[in-house]
Amino acid sequence: MFRLAGLLVTVVALLGCEKAPGDDEQTQTINPNFLVSQGKKADPNYVLSFPKDHLPHDAFDIEWWYLTANLSGDDGHQYALQWTLFRFAQSSQQNQWYQGQSFMGHASLHSPDQHWFSERFAPGGLGSAGVKTIDNKLNLFIDDWLWQGKSTEGTLFPSVLNTKIINNTSSMEVDITLTQTGPFVLQGENGYSIKSKQGKHASHYYSLPFIDVTGRLELPTGDVEVSGKAWFDHEWTSTLLDQTTLGWDWMSLHFDNGDKLMAFRMRLNDQEDYQTGTYIFKNGDAITLSPQQITLTIEKSYEVEGKTLPLEWQVVIPSQKVDIKVTAVKRNAYNPSVFPYYEGAVKVSGSQTGKGFLELTGY
């Protein structure tokens, strides 16, 4: 099993070139102390506020803005969309091209029989990537990918997202509108999310699990009108890239009764796995689930791209009378990035029914 930190060093090496973009020399250097956190630590007393905390937190080592959507097309097919913008602090790279920050973008779309995936990289100092307010509207962008808030108050929703995704043989384009239908949810304790039993691993983390999606997919076979539900996460930390972090198993679920569930298992090489989650009621009220209040059990694993991946899970939350099976819709939903990981739609059966997403890293 590869450590997540080792995989992300590859990203930083790709982004952390001391030469200006376009130079012929390919030699790249990274801070040898990268695996020792250089950034600010999450603070349990920090109070999140919006729209301020939609913006970057450059003092932290890593940050991501993450969207998944389960979509139904007017062609009768189901589609699964992921869009993520990552920010990496580069304390050893302070030249004009990077200004201490680098960005990576991932976009993925699954149809029943195809997968489009694209990956983008950009330094933080050229204006080609970032998260910032432009003309009082919040913009998340990398190259020509754009997620833009419609409000002039700097909020993220309502918003429009436009991205072109390319696979080995074809390309497609996403053009969707995202509408908030419920409140933001502060994960963990008021947005302070503990990731290990010892408490050394933690992040600031909030979600918006209440998003209606409408729009269009421009596929090689023609345009498809889509609608569905989306989930947004924003998280920042300086303690998930160390040598003890092996990876995580994470899921976000939309139940048909309107409730939601976020759950994850952190895999650490110096202590037992840590599992927790948040049960979110349809009115927006939320309950943080301690490791004793939720059980995540692997029911079946499959070989995918040479990796053994847990793609069928049982999730039990006795306090909410939840006993469900979470099953991957497509076994091969592996994103072929510089650090490959699984990201795909799931279906829910048992005491609750619904759909959602599963992410598996570090395998």
**Residues contacting 351, CB < 8 A, separation 6+:** 321, 322, 323, 324
Question: How many whole angstroms separate alpha carbon 68 and alpha carbon 213?
Answer: 11
Distance of CA 278 to the CA centre of its chain: 16
Q: What is the pLDDT of residue 22?
A: 40
| Paired tokens of 246 | 């092996």
Tokens of 200: 């050394």
What confidence tens digit (pLDDT) does each residue in 18-32 have?
444 443 333 333 343
What are the residue boundaries of the structural domains of the chain, listed by start? 4-38+50-360
> Would you state the pLDDT for residue 239?
86
d(CA 85, CA 339): 15
pLDDT for the residue numbered 244: 79
- Alpha-carbon span 141 to 145, nearest angstrom: 5
Q: Cα(97)–Cα(16) distance, rounded to whole angstroms?
A: 10
Closest C-alpha among 254, 179, 267, 263 to residue 209 = 254
Low-confidence spans in the chain with pLDDT less than 70: 1-37, 91-99, 241
Structure token digits, residue 228: 């569905």
> Where is 341: in which H helix or E strand?
strand 341-350
**β-strands 341-350, 334-335 pairing:** antiparallel
CATH of domain 4-38+50-360: 2.40.370.10
Strands (E) across 96-237 are located at 101-110, 115-123, 129-134, 137-142, 145-149, 159-166, 171-180, 185-186, 192-194, 202-219, 222-237
d(Cα 236, Cα 253) in Å, to the nearest integer?
22
pLDDT of residue 28: 34
pLDDT in tens, 295-333: 999 999 999 999 999 999 999 999 999 999 999 999 999
The residues with which 250 forms a beta bridge, in sequence order, are: 264, 359
The rounded distance, in Å, linking the Cα atoms of 136 and 139 is: 9
Q: Are 97 and 46 in contact (CB under 8 A)?
A: no
Rounded distance between C-alpha atoms, residue 14 and residue 9, angstroms: 9
Which pair of structure tokens corresponds to residue 256?
């048909």
How far is CA 34 from each of CA 5, 84, 238, rounded to the nearest angstrom?
Answer: 9, 22, 11
What pTM did the predictor assign? Answer: 0.91
CA angle in degrees (0–180, nearest 5) for 241-356-191? 45
Neighbours of 33 (CB within 10 A): 10
What's the CA gap between 171 and 210, in Å, rounded?
29
Judged by DSSP in three states, 133 sits in strand
